[in-house]
Amino acid sequence: MSDRNEADALSCCASCGITGGDDIKLKNCTACYLVKYCSLECQKNHRPKHKRACKKRMAELRDELLFKQPESTHLGDCPICMIPLPIDRGKTTTMNCCSKIICNGCFHANERIVGALKQCPFCRFEPSTDKDIYEQTMKRIKANDPVAMRREGTENYFKGNYISALKWYNKAVELGDVDAHYKLAALYHQAQGVEKDREKKIHHWEEAAIGGHPIARHNLGCEEWGSGNIERAVKHFTIAANLGYDESIKALMDNFTDGFVSKDDLAAALRAHQAAVDATKSPQREAAEEYNRIRRNGG
Strands 27-28 and 36-37: antiparallel
- In whole angstroms, what is the distance from residue 24 CA to residue 242 CA? 48
Question: pTM for this structure?
Answer: 0.88
Strands 36-37 and 92-94: unpaired
The Cβ of residue 133 has, within 10 Å, a number of other Cβ atoms equal to 16
pLDDT at 114 over 70: no
Higher pLDDT, 11 or 86: 86
**For 80, phi and psi rounded to 5 degrees?**
-100, -55
* DSSP collapsed to 3 states, 14-62: CCCCCECCCCCCCEECCCCCCCEECCHHHHHHHHHHHHHHHHHHHHHHH
Q: In this structure, what is the dihedral angle of CA atoms 182, 188, 189, 190, given to the nearest 10 degrees?
A: 110
* One-letter amino acid of 31: A
- In whole angstroms, what is the distance from residue 193 CA to residue 8 CA? 51
* One-letter amino acid of 130: D
pLDDT bracket for residue 105 (50, 70, 90): very high
pLDDT at 225 over 70: yes
Higher pLDDT, 21 or 263: 263
Give residue 3's pLDDT: 42
pLDDT in tens, 162-193: 999 999 999 999 999 999 999 999 999 999 99
Report the mean per-residue pLDDT for the chain.
92
pLDDT in tens, 200-220: 999 999 999 999 999 999 999
